[in-house]
Amino acid sequence: MGTSSSGQKPTQGQLQRQLVQKVQKLYRDKLNHTPSDVTCQLLDDKLMVVIENSVTKPEQLLLQDGDPERAAQIREDLIAAIRPEMAKLVEDILNRDVVDILSDATLETGRTGLVIILSSAPDVRSTAKATSK
């Protein structure tokens, strides 16, 4: 994905939007679940991902039935199961190896957070920023 159709490097914002779309698609395709919001933020050689409303229906059912430990175990298993595909989609979009993925979920708030460590910062096109005097 290194360059856009015009031959230029993508901007950081373009890469982040692509990542958001692919993470949403991964959740839909693999977990049959659509998160309400996904935020991706590149910080040098790190990618931060926050997935809102990430709790699937089976997890919600276990929580309603008063079995939060089992719901938490299923959440951990789901994150582990999609980790290789998450790494691949990040590598494909950013053209960088994924060194590590740190993850946590809070079932009470429905949020999942990922910190993805990259081999190096992605190659992006600089954007002009307005300066104020």
Mean pLDDT (the chain, rounded): 90
Q: Which of 47, 68, 71 is nearest to 57 (CA)?
A: 71
Total domains in the chain come to 1
Domain that holds residue 65: 12-118
Per-residue pLDDT, 37 = 96
Assigned domain for 102 exists: yes
Assigned domain for 114 exists: yes
Residues with Cβ within 8 Å of 76's Cβ and at least 6 positions away in sequence, in order, are 105
- How do residues 79-92 score in pLDDT, each as one tens digit? 999 999 999 999 99
Assigned domain for 110 exists: yes
Say whether pLDDT at 108 is over 80. Answer: yes
Assigned domain for 5 exists: no
Assigned domain for 94 exists: yes
Assigned domain for 33 exists: yes
Assigned domain for 42 exists: yes
The three-state DSSP-derived secondary structure of 23-60 is HHHHHHHHHCCCCCEEEEEEECCEEEEEEECCCCHHHH
Assigned domain for 44 exists: yes
Say whether pLDDT at 28 is over 50. Answer: yes
